[in-house]
Structure 1
Amino acid sequence: MTLTWIRQPPTSYRMQRLSGMSLFATLSPRELKIIDGMLHNRNYLANEIIFDEGEEGQALYIILSGKVSINRRREHGDEMIAELAAGNFFGDVALLDNSPRSAQVKAIENCEVAVFFRADFSSLLETNAVIGYKISLELARLNSRRLRDSLDANSRSEAL
């Protein structure tokens, strides 16, 4: 009896990154491959601004390598509110609406990101509603978690 091994197609570095992200955790390998085909790679140098606060949001960004800082303008100058590394994403609200960016994002070190444009997401919702639904549900969960965390933080600061 001869055993035949089934060969899996090679998985790209980007596909490996995507498969480990909560945003895409519910997608099958076939669905993830569809998403991978819709993404656009971009590279940013250290200290380069990826987008500025107040700009119209056009896309979600997935960090493949490097680090970014999320900054808000304050009266006394810019305040860093978060630092994100590979495996994280930002700008997700842009997939859902046209509101201005609520913060600036700047590369701390050289970065490679995969960009998911709103137009591509809208097209996905029309052509493959199941994948669009799964991603939308994860975005809703993420945003409700952020809202709860923000409310909890406000409650703690009011108690002090």
Structure 2
Amino acid sequence: MLRRRINNKNKMIQILKNIPFFSTLSDQDLQVIAEKVTMEYYPASYTLFNEGDPGDIMYIIKTGSAEVVRNNAIVATLGAGDFFGEMALVSDEPRNATLKITAEMEVLTLKKEDFRHLLETNANIASMVSYEVVKRVNEND
């Protein structure tokens, strides 16, 4: 795994704008997020985390793909623009699935404490995340 922080905020804002999860946010909101995220790279065939692991990071896929595995069955395939790991940050529950990378992946990561700070201090981001969490809960039922 390779990790780096992109120091050019304008470049990070452009990356965030191209991710559907963030595309509706203002430049001001994106700037707040850009200050908190880190870019990480993972090789194909890497298991990022296992079902039952504690969750302290949210991931947003910039490039690559992964499989979400629950009870040894593939339940979803994720690609560029998708995000995962947010449920463990919201609920404080362990990871509810295993994530296996299928194609070399570049992700933006957001730590739990930064994620919670963003939710507490930014209504636009909190609203967007709430909508996505409700959608995910409904999809998993």
TM-score range, shorter chain: 0.7 to 0.9
Counterpart in the other structure of 1:30? 28
Counterpart in the other structure of 1:66? 64
Counterpart in the other structure of 1:41? 39
Q: By how many angstroms is 1:123 displaced?
A: 3.1
Which is greater in Rg?
A: 1
Counterpart in the other structure of 1:55? 53
Asked if residue 135 in structure 1 is aligned to residue 125 in structure 2, the reply is: yes
Q: By how many angstroms is 1:30 displaced?
A: 2.0
CA contact (8 A) 2:9 2:34 kept: no
Q: Superposition pairs for residues 7-156 of structure 1, below 5 Å?
A: 11-12=10-11, 14-73=12-71, 78-125=72-119, 129=121, 131=122, 133-150=123-140
* Secondary structure, counterpart of 1:112 in structure 2: strand
Runs (4+) of structure 1 exceeding 6 A deviation are none
* Secondary structure, counterpart of 1:23 in structure 2: coil
Identity rate of aligned residues, in percent? Answer: 31
Q: For residues 136 and 91 of structure 2, what CA distance do their matches in structure 1 show?
A: 17
* Per-residue CA distance 1:106-157 (angstroms, 9 max, x = gap): 110110101011111233345xx1x2x2222222212322344455xxxxxx
Q: What is the Cα-based RMSD across aligned positions, in Å?
A: 2.2
- Pair 48,122 (structure 1): closer, same or farther in 2 beyond 3 Å: same
Amino acid at match of 1:136: A
Structure ranking higher in strand proportion: 2
